[in-house]
Amino acid sequence: MHEKERHGIILSAVQDRPVVTVVDLCGLTGASEATIRRDIAALHVAKKLRRVRGGAEALAPNQFPGLAGRPFSVNETINIKQKQAIARAAVELCEDGDPIIINGGTTTFQMVHPLATRRCQVFTNSFPIAEHLLKNSKNSVLISGGVIYREQNIVLSPFDNDVTRNFYARRMFMGAQGVAPIGVMEADPLIIQAEQKLIGQADELVLLVDSSKFKSRSSLVLCSLDTIDILITDEGISDRSAAMIEAADIELIVAPIAGAKEEVAS
């Protein structure tokens, strides 16, 4: 990641939280602590943020904090081939007429392209997913109501009496911050609150995670592994992680990356 990109992510992050730690910023950017400390020092000198012990804070903090985690625009290009393969495998589970829930995220967003050939009833809390399906498919689309979080491009409601309770789905497709023996992890309490409501509205829960998510961790657990019915990932999953999923009695689908064999052959 280039310096300009890192600086953009750092400045965005400090607007979301009172103080962002160096460790937090390493997780958001993938950079080393030494690099992040240099970035903070440079931005402090440029008077774009305030350097504090162990991290940084905004000069004028946002009065309406955002969600924890990397912005949609940053996540969108990470492991893109794996996400596309996972999304294709997910859409193969869908049939015309199926009511489905697609939770906001960069892996679930990749479902919109193969869904162009389907006619499903789609409930989503994602602006990009809703917009793409409306413009480029014949799926019917229902979007949730609530607060708009621009960086993650999702709509979340803290209230129980929203439209979520009125939609039944054959399957719910969702991503995650991380997957571990303790369960499925997410980065923000509000995301967990919203997803737990949606989980209860579907017969089956399908988790879409690229293989890097088995190494990622968060301090918040969304649900235990036995809540998941199907997990779709890529060929990078380790034998240990695959064994963990199978031991939890979850159907594991490993999606092949398109063109991988051709690239090896050439």
46: in domain = yes
Do 52 and 87 belong together in one domain?
Answer: no
The percent helix, strand, coil of the chain (3-state, each to 5) is: 40, 25, 35
What pLDDT, on a 0 to 100 scale, did the predictor assign at position 66? 52
Do 208 and 240 belong together in one domain?
Answer: yes
The highest-confidence range among 41-50, 184-193, 211-220, by mean pLDDT, is: 41-50
Do 105 and 220 belong together in one domain?
Answer: yes
Q: Which of the listed residues 40, 65, 90 is the one where a domain comes to its end?
A: 65
DSSP state of 54: T
Residue 203, both tokens: 């017969």
Do 27 and 109 belong together in one domain?
Answer: no
Do 23 and 134 belong together in one domain?
Answer: no
Query: Residue 2's pLDDT band (boundaries 50, 70, 90)?
Result: confident
94: in domain = yes
Q: Which of the listed residues 65, 89, 116 is the one where a domain comes to its end?
A: 65
What pLDDT, on a 0 to 100 scale, did the predictor assign at position 71? 55
Look at 77-81, 95-99, 119-123, 167-171 and tell me which has the smallest mean pLDDT.
77-81
Q: Which of the listed residues 12, 34, 65 is the one where a domain comes to its end?
A: 65
Do 158 and 34 belong together in one domain?
Answer: no
74: in domain = no
* CATH for 11: 1.10.10.10
Mean pLDDT confidence for 105-128: 91
What pLDDT, on a 0 to 100 scale, did the predictor assign at position 209? 95
pLDDT tens-digit map of 17-44: 667 889 888 887 888 999 999 999 999 9
Query: Residue 265's pLDDT band (boundaries 50, 70, 90)?
Result: very low
Residue 212, both tokens: 């890097």
Look at 83-87, 90-94, 146-150, 178-182 and tell me which has the smallest mean pLDDT.
146-150
Residue 33, both tokens: 């602590």
Our count of domains for the chain comes to 2
| Predicted confidence (pLDDT) at residue 266 exceeds the cutoff of 60 | no
Among residues 48, 47, 51, 46, the alpha carbon closest in space to that of 36 is found at 51
248: in domain = yes
Do 33 and 120 belong together in one domain?
Answer: no
What pLDDT, on a 0 to 100 scale, did the predictor assign at position 62? 56
Do 182 and 226 belong together in one domain?
Answer: yes
72: in domain = no
266: in domain = no
* CATH for 138: 3.40.50.1360
| Predicted confidence (pLDDT) at residue 161 exceeds the cutoff of 80 | no
Crossing angle (nearest 10°) for helices 33-45 and 22-29: 110
Look at 20-29, 106-115, 236-245 and tell me which has the smallest mean pLDDT.
20-29
60: in domain = yes
Do 86 and 31 belong together in one domain?
Answer: no
265: in domain = no
Do 108 and 156 belong together in one domain?
Answer: yes
Do 42 and 85 belong together in one domain?
Answer: no
Do 47 and 102 belong together in one domain?
Answer: no
DSSP state of 257: P
CB atoms within 10 A of CB 253: 16
Question: End-to-end CA distance of the chain, in Å?
Answer: 28
- Domain span including residue 21: 3-65
